[in-house]
Amino acid sequence: MSDLISVAIIGKSSQDLATSLNLSPVPLEESDLAIFIVSAIDGIVRADIDSWQFARDMYIPSIVVISETDNADLDFDDMTAIASKMLDPVASKYLVLHSDAGEPTALIDLTTLKILDYSSGVPSIIESDDEHKELVGEYVLEYQELLEQSGDDGFTRGLLFPALPWIKASNLGLDQMKELINQIPAAG
């Protein structure tokens, strides 16, 4: 990851996420990128909404990270809908797949329709089956529409807000966060 950009991390478990990403967070006012953590247990607090509005006013590229879905009644889809209502519409490039026991164990990439399986502890990429492709069809169209509205560089210009899950125990979502962080140009 780029050491040349400044990242603010806002929300519950921000220090845990900073450690997982090997980042030293900065105040939002000094950041090139903001990561907003939304807990599926605690929701979105007023102070985080105020910080979100500041980031929007300053066009700071922002990622919405949905955490604690492995311990809550609400899942990733529920929380992205809540974030879209309370913050701004968020774009989910990935959907969470669950094991038979209901545990979040994989992501399906809506651009490639490949599955990123985290169930063994080491992420592996597998092809999705026809049933998965059919189930995610509506989400693919929704994601493509948001990309078209914001343009190819919508995220880096602070106009498109990716939403990602984060399951600390399995690192599910961490690689995808790193990919987004690496898209932000270094401050010159």
Please report, in tens digits, the pLDDT of each residue of the chain (188 residues total).
555 899 999 999 999 999 999 999 999 999 999 999 999 999 999 999 999 999 999 999 999 999 998 877 888 999 999 999 999 999 999 999 988 888 889 999 999 999 999 988 788 999 999 999 999 999 999 999 999 999 889 999 999 999 999 998 889 999 999 999 999 987 65
**Cβ–Cβ under 8 Å, residues 21 and 178:** yes
What pLDDT shows up at residue 71? 79
Q: What region does 102 belong to: left with phi over 0, alpha with psi -120 to 50, or beta?
A: left
Please give the C-alpha separations between residue 56 and each of 63, 160, 187, in angstroms, as whole numbers.
12, 11, 19
Q: Which residues contact 114 (CB under 8 A, 6 or more apart)?
A: 108, 125, 126, 127, 128
Strand partners, 165: 66
What pLDDT shows up at residue 20? 94
**Cβ–Cβ under 8 Å, residues 146 and 73:** no
**Cβ–Cβ under 8 Å, residues 132 and 33:** no
What pLDDT shows up at residue 187? 66
- Closest to 106 measured CA to CA, from 85, 80, 127: 127
Q: Could you give all domains of the chain from N- to C-terminal order, each with its CATH number?
A: 7-93+139-181 (3.40.50.300)
What pLDDT shows up at residue 101? 86
What pLDDT shows up at residue 64? 98
What pLDDT shows up at residue 188? 52
Helices (H), ranges, 30-183: 46-57, 76-86, 130-150, 174-181
Question: Taking the mean position of all CA atoms in its chain, how far away is CA 185?
Answer: 19
Q: For the sheet with 94-98, list strands across it.
A: 94-98, 104-109, 114-117, 124-127
* 54: number of Cβ within 10 Å: 15
Indicate the length of the chain as a whole number.
Answer: 188
What pLDDT shows up at residue 3? 58
Please give the C-alpha separations between residue 160 and each of 33, 108, 115, 139, in angstroms, as whole numbers.
12, 20, 23, 16
